[in-house]
């Protein structure tokens, strides 16, 4: 059964939506850049400049979830890696060549 991605995306967590949107816009995006983007959009004037750090772990959790679903790839050193083996610095991108 084919899944309608527009229907799935509308049900996604806002962080998952941000990952997908930024990956589509930029080609690849780091979890840190997603967290910074979300913090900038949700932040208030009195928030600390490192507010983005609060979003980093949830962004990584959503990234793993999306990668396990096959909706994004986790890339390290230019190569896609298995979601459960993603360690260190990595980026997200939309699936290539499928």
Helix (H, G, I), strand (E, B) or coil at 68: helix
Q: What residue segments make up the domains of the chain, in order of their start?
A: 5-93
> How far is the C-alpha of 14 from the C-alpha of 1, rounded, in Å?
25
Contacts of 80 (CB under 8 A, 6+ apart): 73, 74, 96
In this predicted structure, the answer to whether residue 5 has a pLDDT above a threshold of 70 is no
**Token pair in block for residue 48:** 């600390």
For residues 2-22, give the mean pLDDT: 75
CATH topology of domain 5-93: Arc Repressor Mutant, subunit A (1.10.10)
Alpha-carbon radius of gyration of the chain: 14
**Residue 86's pLDDT is what?**
87
For residues 26-47, give the mean pLDDT: 96
- Write the DSSP string, 83-98: GGG--SS-EEEPPP--
């Amino acid at each position: 059964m084919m899944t309608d991605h527009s229907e799935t995306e509308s049900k996604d967590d806002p962080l998952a939506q941000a990952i997908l949107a930024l990956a589509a816009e930029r080609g690849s995006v780091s979890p840190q850049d997603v967290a910074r983007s979300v913090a900038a959009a949700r932040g208030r004037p009195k928030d600390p400049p490192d507010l983005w750090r609060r979003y980093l772990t949830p962004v990584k959790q959503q990234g793993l979830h999306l990668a396990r679903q096959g909706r994004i790839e986790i890339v390290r050193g230019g190569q896609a890696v298995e979601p459960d083996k993603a360690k260190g610095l990595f980026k997200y991108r939309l699936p290539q060549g499928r």
